[in-house]
Amino acid sequence: MNQRITRISSSVTGLAADPAPALRFSVPLSATRRGARLARLLATEQLRSWGLPLDPMRLIVAELAANAVQHGRVPGRSFRLVLAVTRPATLRIEVTDTRGDRLPARTPGVGGSLAESGRGLLIVAELADRWGVEEGPVPCKTVWAEIGLAPVP
């Protein structure tokens, strides 16, 4: 069963429990559709270079980056993608945008209609072991997802 967790804090990040992740990748990207596509491509190459499976990680990156571009965009400001392998073997995906005033909805829309959009975080919730939102530092927010990695034999 997937757990959805929301941690809201302006001073504690999800990596606070492990201040030195085993592997870390961080890159700022333009808050455009091209930037969201580049986030997915860069994540794919980084995961490949670390010898990690590509799916479902790249799908989660694609959803979080698309949300940052669509809902978290501020003209002239970028979003940041972070991939980190923490201890114990967990991949943490973070996407930080500059619209801290617009937090993602934790539940689907009312009525169950077949909308063209609005299902991205439902996909993230199904694919990730945990996910949540952290506010701050102002004006930012970070949407994160974690996936346990299978131990290497």
Kindly give the parts of the chain with pLDDT less than 70. Answer: 1-20, 105-118, 151-153
pLDDT, one tens digit per residue, over 108-131 is 555 455 455 567 889 999 999 999
pLDDT, position 43: 98
Q: Residue 43 and residue 60: Cα distance in Å, rounded?
A: 10
pLDDT, position 1: 39
Q: Residue 99 and residue 3: Cα distance in Å, rounded?
A: 25
pLDDT, position 8: 34
pLDDT, position 101: 83
Q: What is the mean pLDDT of the chain?
A: 82
Q: What is the pTM of this model?
A: 0.79
